[in-house]
Structure 1
Amino acid sequence: MVREGQSRGREKGVWWSQVRLWTVAVVSLALLSACFIVSCVVTYHFTYGKIGKRLSELHTYHSSLTCFSEGTRVTEKVWGCCPSAWKSFGSSCYFISMEENFWSKSEQNCIGMGAHLVVINTEAEQNFIVQQLNESFSYFLGLTDPQGDEKWQWIDQTPFHENVRFWHPNEPNFSAERCASIVFWSPGKWGWNDVFCDSKRNSICEMKKIHL
């Protein structure tokens, strides 16, 4: 009888050990699941929450958006959206304004649409933009020389790189002309020119594209 009791005791001990093991496993799995859910919620909040906020902001300026398929990201499609009537290129949307204004007023108009005057970072971007322009007009860029000391600055604080500039020959050439425009000069070339900020010109607005 003693041996049988000892056997039952060992069996009970093994059983309790297995129960504890399974309990630990279940609790661990529950904690992992909770962490995963929290992670998903946080990711959704920061990713899709920001997208939703940006879409909401755009809808306050624009009645409709146009979205373009831009390939796939893992298993889901990626869509890039711009306001209707804006042009899509790279990660940005562009609007060609045919309303002539001073530089400051042109920038205010862009801000009023959730954008800013265009910032040109690459030759490919410049080539795309000039395809949308009318050779008869000059267009303000988001580029200024506030002090007239040849320290040109982009409106969005993008560093002004000497190797990414498209001035016409011998431009800029006058310190009192503290704003930049893009203009077509013969023979057959678009380029930048320094101009008076209080002159009236057309303009180009740029905003970041929304990706869904």
Structure 2
Amino acid sequence: MVQEGQPQVREKGVWRANVRLWFVAVISITLLSACFIASCVVTYHFTYGKTGKRLSELHTYYSSLTCFSEGTRVTEKVWGCCPNAWKPFGSSCYFISTEKRFWSKSEQNCVGMGAHLVVINTEAEQNFIIQQLNESFSYFLGLSDPQGNGKWQWIDQTPFDENVRFWHQNEPNFSAEQCASIVFWNPGKWGWNDDFCDTKRNSICEMKKIYL
């Protein structure tokens, strides 16, 4: 009788082991699914939540945005958006203000639109910007020397790179001129010039694109 019951005992043991394995597998899958969902929620909150907040802020200044396709892969942010009348380049949007203001008022005007005076980081960016400008005017940049000691600094705290600068020849040349502008001087060249901050100039605003 004992020998006849042994196969049943073994079968029960195997069945219980299988049940345990299935139970562990189900629990593991459930936990992994929960982690994945939580990860998606967190990613959505930080990515789309911030985007939504930025869009909401911009809509207080602008009625509509223009978006441009910038990628096709699922892992990439596909659309880069700028407010209407702003020019897209790289990861930024640019606005050319034709209203003349002091340097500080120019910066306030940019801030009021969710931007700041332009910060030029590359020659390509410089070349793009000058294509948008009128040679008859000069435009304030987000570059200043508050102490008049030759320590120029960008408005967004980007370190001033001595290798990326586009001053006209022999500029800057006067410590009392503590703000920088970009201006066209003959014989046919755009460049930076140190300027009096309380001179009224046109200006260039820059903001980061919104990615959707």
- TM-score category by the smaller chain? over 0.9
Which consecutive unaligned segments of at least 5 residues does structure 1 have? none
Q: How far apart are 1:51 and its partner, in Å?
A: 1.0
Match of 2:62 in 1: 62
**CA offset digits 1:6-60 (Å, max 9, x no partner):** 2211111111111111111111111111111111111111111111111111111
Q: Give the letter aligned to residue 197 of structure 1.
A: C
The farther-off stretch of 108-117 and 65-74 is 65-74
SS at match of 2:151: coil
Identity of aligned residues (%): 85
Match of 1:42 in 2: 42
Q: Give the letter aligned to residue 14 of structure 2.
A: V
What is the CA–CA distance in structure 2 between the aligned matches of 1:189 and 1:76, rounded to whole Å? 38
What is the CA–CA distance in structure 2 between the aligned matches of 1:47 and 1:53, rounded to whole Å? 10
Match of 2:83 in 1: 83
SS at match of 1:170: coil
Q: How far apart are 1:178 and its partner, in Å?
A: 0.2
Match of 1:122 in 2: 122
Aligned: 1:209 with 2:209? yes
Q: 1:192 to 1:75 in 2, by over 3 A?
A: closer
- Give matches, 1:142-153, under 5 Å: 142-153=142-153
Aligned: 1:175 with 2:187? no
SS at match of 1:18: helix
CA contact under 8 A between 2:77 and 2:211: conserved in structure 1?
no
The farther-off stretch of 73-82 and 156-165 is 73-82
Which consecutive unaligned segments of at least 5 residues does structure 2 have? none
SS at match of 1:174: coil
Match of 1:73 in 2: 73
CA contact under 8 A between 1:69 and 1:77: conserved in structure 2?
no
SS at match of 2:150: coil
**CA offset digits 1:63-118 (Å, max 9, x no partner):** 11000111223367711100000000010000000000000000000000000000
Instruction: List structure 1 segments (4+ residues) > 4 angstroms apart after TM superposition.
Output: none
Match of 1:102 in 2: 102
The farther-off stretch of 11-20 and 150-159 is 11-20
What is the CA–CA distance in structure 2 between the aligned matches of 1:156 and 1:73, rounded to whole Å? 31
Match of 1:26 in 2: 26
Q: 1:83 to 1:29 in 2, by over 3 A?
A: same
What is the CA–CA distance in structure 2 between the aligned matches of 1:6 and 1:70, rounded to whole Å? 69
What is the CA–CA distance in structure 2 between the aligned matches of 1:178 and 1:78, rounded to whole Å? 41
Match of 1:197 in 2: 197
Aligned: 1:113 with 2:107? no
Q: How far apart are 1:151 and its partner, in Å?
A: 0.1
Across the two proteins, how many residue pairs are aligned to each other? 212
